[in-house]
Amino acid sequence: QDANIPLQESGYSQRLDEFDQVFIELFSDRWNIRAGDIDLQNSNSYFAEFSKRVQGLSVNAKLGSEEKTNVFAAGALVRGQFTTSQFTAQEGNQGPYKLQGPNGELFVLIVSGSEIVYVNGVAIERGEDKDYIIDYNAGEIIFNSTFPITSEMRITVDYQFSERNYSRLVAYAGGNYESDKLKIGVSVYSENDSKNQPLQQNLSEEQVQILSNAGDDRGLMVAPSEVLEALNENRILYKKELIEGVEAFVFSNNPDDELYRVTFTLVGDNQGDYILSSINAINNIFEYIGPSLGNYAPIVQLVAPTRLQIAVLNGEYNPNEKTNISFEASGSKNDQNLFSDIDDDNNEGFAGKLRLEQTIVKQDSLWTLKGFIDGDFIEANYRNIQGLYNPEF
């Protein structure tokens, strides 16, 4: 297969056969090494539970004579980035409903099999004979006629989407130990963009400076889009002109003018100075109509490289058959702009969990009385990989 072609399997069946997984694996009774398509999973953590489909290398090994110590490590290129899309259904409209990216992107490529769809907080099933089908390539979900949609339904979709602004790397490592009374595990997860390897955007020095000055404010991550260019009959070009004291771009095909190639971005009603005036066979033509009277602006939205790091320590202790103590502590570091040191004071967060359970009375197999304490503590700046609670918790 050619993994560079961004096409996903169809989302009609209830179960997706991973026919395109290609890997090489070496293994023995005590270790295994796998290279190629791998699934990174952590189901032994409360805060850092995740499942990610990646391409890379993973190593697992069992240590000690009784093989109760296990260590693992993996490094890979990430295929998808986790996000959530929420919308309210329309009465009688079975779809298609368009899923949006985390920054409002209308065209997202969803990693096949990564979605969980909740309706009013309850997960539903994929399949032609179930509740919904999904087009991963178009990012659209359609509900079957056997699952009628009403305007009272709140729909939440957790999924991974293919994000190609930067090369994204993930590293995951840790280990766990188990004895008769104690289980303890530690893991470290790091996912970050390679800021010096942009894929879909070629950043100039000026644009890098804009990102370095923007901090975490995405509204400041915009740059002028004009590029000086000679007359080209196959392109829509503009000249600069003063209109009521404001320098604006005006469509021109005069070779004597200083011409620019300009990219216009939809910024919302009364947020821009330009409107779409006509549609040409080559491209669209935009017209300046006055400050804050239009919905387009001659800017490009820049995307900053990000990094998420998570460390977890958890365990379970059973001093006797009536007492159970489990705990987990996790710290995260979430940097929304690797080019900038501004707004870095809110990057770090902590979360903890403690559960104590005591059997008070146990009458053979007839009945049992237990008492327990179960609590979470999560700082506002703590970030994990996927959602922690039910969407409508």
pLDDT tens string 50-90: 888 788 999 999 987 666 889 999 999 876 778 888 888 88
What mean pLDDT comes out for the span 182-190? 93
267 CB-contact burial (10 Å; exposed 0-12 / middle 13-18 / buried 19+): middle
Cβ atoms of 102 and 372 within 8 Å: the answer is no
66 CB-contact burial (10 Å; exposed 0-12 / middle 13-18 / buried 19+): exposed
Between 104-108, 213-217, 237-241, the lowest mean confidence (pLDDT) is in 104-108
Residues pairing with 191 in the sheet:
170, 308
pLDDT surpassing 80 at residue 371: yes
What mean pLDDT comes out for the span 168-185? 91
Q: How far apart are CA 151 and CA 149, in angstroms?
A: 7
Q: pLDDT averaged over the chain?
A: 85
DSSP labels for 302-319? -----EEEEEEEEEEEEE
Write 97-103 long-range contacts (CB < 8 A, 24+). 97/140, 97/141, 97/142, 97/155, 98/139, 98/140, 99/139, 99/140, 99/141, 99/157, 99/159, 99/161, 101/161, 101/163, 103/218, 103/301, 103/303
Q: How far apart are CA 63 and CA 66, in angstroms?
A: 8
Q: How far apart are CA 116 and CA 119, in angstroms?
A: 10
Length of the chain: 393
Residues pairing with 142 in the sheet:
133
What mean pLDDT comes out for the span 33-58? 87
> What does the pLDDT read at residue 11?
65
Query: Which carries the bigger pLDDT value, residue 20 or residue 137?
Result: 137
> What does the pLDDT read at residue 268?
81
Between 101-110, 136-145, 267-276, 297-306, the lowest mean confidence (pLDDT) is in 101-110
Residues 6+ apart with CB under 8 A from 345: none
> What does the pLDDT read at residue 3?
47
What mean pLDDT comes out for the span 324-335? 94
> What does the pLDDT read at residue 16?
56
What is the token pair recorded at 221?
């991550």
Place of tokens 């298609």: 96
